[in-house]
DNA sequence: TGCACTCGGTGCACCGTTGCACTCGGTGCA
DNA sequence: TGCACCGAGTGCAACGGTGCACCGAGTGCA
């Protein structure tokens, strides 16, 4: 088959559709049950596939959940990639401060409140938080961080990889802290008032990172 | 698997759904194109299956069309079976006149106008009639007639099978003649006026059959 | 009149799903 | 404390669908 034909064949389309349906079903069930209060049987029925098919697509339930969270968190990476397109010339010589500015711009530009709200509802339902589920989320954040760092190194090849890794790690875990404060202030609402709080916290976080933790050099 | 489980499994459900989708797609394309103005490729695309799958379910296009027509004509057999349920006692000794009355009742009770209208539009589109397609319809009528006769013999085992076969054959071909006259009078419309014409023609047809073709015995 | 094309139909290998029996870990209860 | 049950996860075979190359009949055109 000539590879110039851009559309996948029916087999590939079916496979992809089933994979998406499983992830979407898991996302729905997480939200509806407030966490891991469903079985693989429930998930399969909701996705309209067999139990075996779930395991054909994913090695385990934690892989399904990882895909769910990955979808949810995908907006930040996409926004960063939009902020710093690959084909922009003359940026290879810039320092980590430039990388920081691009990431900061992406963080400001991305509306993370829906994702945060969803994750909060899914992870903190009427039952106690599941450490296992938190572990899945952490893994996704780490994986996402790795991809984000890779995207940065691709765009800024002369910046010290350690600086990039430190930056990404700091930002991701910083966002988790921002989330906790945001949650306490807004009860994870997904509305305009909640967005104002989120933006304020993000600004304080980014300002602190920019300024660093050394002694304040004072007005000059 | 215990056969007490009444619902089919997912495989069987998928298979049946694809078979139904193919038949439904063929019915739609016959109507939309006014006959055989589509390809197997069109049919497969409309049914959302592959070309090969069509031939997995049906030996040929004529078999698909036979299924379409069979669905369309199925109402009469179902109505007859409702008119003359199997478990009704004491009817085995009746004659062919009783069988005729049951069939006549079914013919009166079944609204055949939608089916007739559909078949007319499908078989007589903007192009010339297809003798091949007419042949498929005839085959379906014959098959349907065989099943109708079998249902009658099951209910009236003491009636001469020849009498039953003659009756069924006469009624089916009579309905075709009724259709032609109805078509000329109504242009195959599917509306109340068209139903009135159909019923009138059916009554004349049934009266003639009941009275027979001997000399009129006159008023007595 | 020969050739190229279309389309119905076919054989075969492969893919993805499914059914089902099974294992193992966790849990609850008598 | 042992047993029964539940549910995640697994291996394997079968099923249904799919891709693709092919054949043959029919058709249109140079």
Q: Closest nucleotide to A1's CA, by C1' atom?
A: D20
Topology, domain B7-58: Arc Repressor Mutant, subunit A (1.10.10)
Q: Concatenate the DSSP letters of all residues of chain A into one string.
A: --TT--S--HHHHHHHHHHHHHHHHHHHHHHHHTSS-S-HHHHHHHHTS-HHHHHHH-SSHHHHHHHHHHHHHHHHHHHHHHHS-TT-TT-TT--HHHHHHHHHHHHHHS--HHHHHHHHHHHSSSSPPPHHHHHHHHHHHHHHHHHHHHHHHHH-TTS-HHHHHHHHHHHHHHHHHHHHHHHHHHTT--SHHHHHHHHHHHHHHHHHHHH-SS------
- Measured in angstroms, what separates residue A39's CA from nucleotide D8's C1'? 9
Q: Closest nucleotide to A48's CA, by C1' atom?
A: C17
List protein-proximal bases of chain D (any atom < 7 A from a CB): 7-12, 15-21
pLDDT at A1: 34
Q: Closest nucleotide to A58's CA, by C1' atom?
A: D9
| CA A68 distance to own-chain centroid | 10
| ipTM score assigned to the predicted complex | 0.76
Q: Are A25 and A47 in contact (CB under 8 A)?
A: yes
Which class is A9-58 in CATH?
mainly alpha
Find the helix packing angle between A61-83 and A40-47, rounded to 10°: 60
- Measured in angstroms, what separates residue A92's CA from nucleotide C14's C1'? 47
CA A128, CA A119: separation in Å to the nearest integer? 14
Instruction: Please state whether strand D lies within 7 Å of residue B13 at its CB atom.
Output: no
CA B96, CA A69: separation in Å to the nearest integer? 73
How many Cα atoms sit within 13 Å of A126 on the Cβ side? 3
The CA-CA-CA angle for residues A55, A58, A63, to 5°, reads 130
Closest residue to D20 (CA, C1′): A1
Instruction: Please state whether strand D lies within 7 Å of residue A16 at its CB atom.
Output: no
pLDDT at A7: 59
Instruction: Delimit the domains of chain A by residue range.
Output: 9-58, 62-211
- Measured in angstroms, what separates residue A53's CA from nucleotide D21's C1'? 31
pLDDT at A203: 93
- Measured in angstroms, what separates residue B44's CA from nucleotide C13's C1'? 21
With a cut of 60, say whether residue B27 has pLDDT above it.
Answer: yes
- Measured in angstroms, what separates residue A186's CA from nucleotide C4's C1'? 73
CA B183, CA A131: separation in Å to the nearest integer? 74
- Measured in angstroms, what separates residue A51's CA from nucleotide D22's C1'? 39
Q: Closest nucleotide to B39's CA, by C1' atom?
A: C7
CA B75, CA B97: separation in Å to the nearest integer? 22
Q: Concatenate the DSSP letters of all residues of B101-142 into one string.
A: HHHHHHHHHS--HHHHHHHHHHHSSSSPPPHHHHHHHHHHHH
The H or E element spanning position B178 is helix B161-186
Instruction: Please state whether strand D lies within 7 Å of residue B15 at its CB atom.
Output: yes
Q: Are A181 and A105 in contact (CB under 8 A)?
A: no
pLDDT at A51: 96
Question: Token pair 């300024």 is at which residue?
Answer: A211
Task: Considering only residues B127 and A108, tell me which one the structure prediction assigns the higher pLDDT.
Answer: A108
Task: Give me the residues near strand C, CB below 7 A.
Answer: A 11-12, 14-15, 18, 49-53, 56-57; B 1, 9-11, 14, 38-41, 51-52, 55, 59-62
The three-class DSSP label of residue B37 is coil
- Measured in angstroms, what separates residue B127's CA from nucleotide D30's C1'? 28
With a cut of 80, say whether residue B133 has pLDDT above it.
Answer: no
- Measured in angstroms, what separates residue A107's CA from nucleotide D6's C1'? 44
Of the pLDDT bands very low, low, confident and very high (cuts 50, 70, 90), residue B1 is very low
Instruction: Please state whether strand D lies within 7 Å of residue A17 at its CB atom.
Output: no
Q: What is the DSSP letter of B15?
A: H
CA B136, CA B61: separation in Å to the nearest integer? 10
- Measured in angstroms, what separates residue A132's CA from nucleotide D1's C1'? 29
A84: closest CA among A112, A114, A109, A111? A109
220 residues of chain A, pLDDT tens digit each: 333 344 589 999 999 999 999 999 999 998 888 888 899 999 999 999 999 999 999 999 999 999 998 888 888 888 888 888 776 655 556 788 888 888 899 889 888 888 888 888 777 665 566 777 777 888 888 888 888 899 989 888 888 888 899 998 888 888 888 888 898 899 888 899 999 999 999 999 999 888 887 776 666 4
Instruction: Please state whether strand D lies within 7 Å of residue B49 at its CB atom.
Output: yes
| CA A75 distance to own-chain centroid | 7
């Amino acid at each position: 088959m000539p590879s110039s034909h851009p559309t996948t064949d029916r087999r590939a389309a079916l496979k992809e559709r089933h994979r998406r349906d499983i992830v979407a079903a898991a996302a729905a069930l997480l939200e509806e049950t407030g966490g891991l209060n469903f079985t693989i049987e429930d998930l399969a029925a909701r996705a309209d596939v067999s139990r075996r098919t779930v395991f054909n697509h994913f090695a385990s339930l934690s892989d399904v959940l990882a895909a769910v969270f990955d979808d949810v968190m995908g907006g930040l990476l996409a926004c960063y990639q939009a902020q710093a397109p690959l084909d922009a010339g003359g940026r290879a010589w810039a320092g980590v401060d430039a990388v920081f500015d691009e990431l900061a711009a992406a963080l400001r530009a991305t509306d993370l409140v829906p994702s945060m709200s969803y994750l909060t509802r899914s992870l903190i339902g009427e039952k106690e938080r599941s450490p296992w589920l938190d572990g899945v989320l952490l893994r996704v954040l780490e994986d996402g961080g790795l991809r984000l760092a890779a995207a940065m190194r691709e765009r800024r090849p002369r910046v010290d990889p350690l600086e990039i890794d430190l930056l990404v790690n700091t930002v991701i875990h910083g966002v988790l802290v921002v989330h906790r404060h945001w949650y306490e202030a807004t009860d994870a609402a997904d509305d305009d008032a909640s967005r104002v709080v989120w933006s304020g916290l993000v600004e304080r976080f980014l300002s602190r990172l920019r300024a660093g933790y050394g002694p304040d050099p004072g007005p000059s």
